Structure 1
Amino acid sequence: MKLKSTLGLAIGSLLAASSFGVFAQGQGAVETEVFAKRYFTDSVRNMEDGNLFGGSIGYFLTDDVSLNLSYGEYHDIRSNEGTNKNVKGSLSSLDAVYHFGTPGKGLRPYLSAGMGHQSISNLSPRTGRDHTTFANIGAGLKYYITENFFAKASVDGVHGFDNHQSEWMTGVGLGLNFGGNYSKPAPVVEPAPVVYEPEPVEPETVRVELDVKFDFDKAQVKQDSYNDIANLAEFMKQFPQTATTVEGHTDSTGNAAYNQKLSERRAGAVREVLVNQYGVEAERVNAVGYGEERPVADNATREGRAINRRVEAAVEAQVQ
């Protein structure tokens, strides 16, 4: 494979990846890279130092651990055996990489280890190709210019099992990370304090209502609903004698039995936010689903269906 083809494939991968509408990080992400390295050869092999150009592709097994496959071709290496021949060849490697820091954020140092296979020709006085299996170790630093585009600097050491020689390389690279499922921690919402002023003589009934909307066929609580849920939780903490029932609903699209289960999941998702994120006692929050049975808008229109995909709750308390 020619260097032009190798770089073309790697650059093409970067351009194709950049066309994705949504990028992600962490486990399941794919990482592509093009690199250039300075290859410092062992003097016993009578070769001048040269360059290695190529590309790599990796897959993140976890948020921090990736498995990377790389291929590069040597350039500007000459034999010092009197023939001054241009040494040609390639290096293929498979490495496990452990990253430190937060995916897609600022600087991420890393350590790597793996195996490589080198194939070179024109190395006097031998004829044909010289094949060597390497053990690889490395360290480096990635800097994420954006959440998914990064620059990299690296130092790699290799030791040949066949020739018992140790060599090393330094390099730089550019890469793109996309397609994973890393979820950023939800921002901490600081709800505004709710102040209630009671009537001087007669007790007053105060009430907080919750109306959380959902996307079609989804049961995930959207980020813009967290403030409303936080206000309800704060109210219940101010009045510890209160309890509530979280009621899930759907529009009429699809099978009624499926919609019943979907409404229960939606109610459960809001209950989980109240209990697990905002600290309301679990025994004070019940969750039920009513499926498509209780519409509040016309299911014949898109706007009406959007209104019916909801979770409702209400809490009342008596104050002096």
Structure 2
Amino acid sequence: MKKLLIAVGGLMLAVSMSAQSQEGLYLGPSLSYYYLDSDRVVSGHDEAGVLSFNIGYRFFNDWALEASYGSDIAGEDIDIAQLNAYYWFGEDDGGWRTYAVGGYAYYDREGEKNLQIEEEYTHQLQAGLGMSNMITPQWEFRGDVRVLNKIRGEGKGSMWDASVNLGMRYYFNKPVAPVVVVPVPVREPEMEPETRTLTIKLNVEFEFDKADVLAVYGDELEAVANAMKVHEDITLELEGHTDSRGEEGYNQDLSQRRVDAVKARIHEEYGIDVSRITTTGYGESRPVADNDTDEGRARNRRVVGEMTFTEVVK
């Protein structure tokens, strides 16, 4: 018996752990080694080897119901019929799984005693633990150890037997690959960044009949240029104007020279591309103050521009 237990352990370690569990109808052979209660021995053997044929149905991947019939191939003369239930523990990860087995066994045994043929019919309950592994998608190896106890039959008193069982099962249904549910990450809604809208106004005034940009306007021009460097998508539109003194045609040309001078200053001193600056001269046609006073005429001699842009508040 010790040799058989060692063989069981070696075989269970050698079986591959690569396949899946199964469900559905199955059948297969098993080889059992029985160690019999001494009160049961008739022919002088307290051991028996039994070859059985098994048919069963496995459901929910964790339960199976199985019927089997076997006959001795060595030792005591035994025929045995069984009806057993199986339950597998733990998650099915494609490797070894531990199971419990329990059920009913019916012994029909013959033997010689004092030159007489004796028959014994015994009803037994059995329970045990084992391990199984799907060595291919449809072939399963099982190995377990069981104890059996007489509940009815010939003979007096309680009888205890033990068995070691090795078997193969073939499933007719091919395994269905498990459905793997991949969780979809839920993205938290992104917070809209806080923004603000800014407007920069430019107002450069000129001396009478001149188009020179005075140094006093350097800070205003620099502020405009810095904003255009940060916000490369914005453009600047400049408008040039004059007061009402002089010929209209001359004033039109003067207003254009003034607006071009501001454009050139922004480009040359601050590196802003000229393609981002548009210019228009309006001459004396759009005054903002009274041309009858010196103060009003000074306000009308001007180049103006305005930029509006949005930036993220840090």
TM-score (ref. length: structure 2): 0.46
> TM-score, normalised to structure 1's length?
0.45
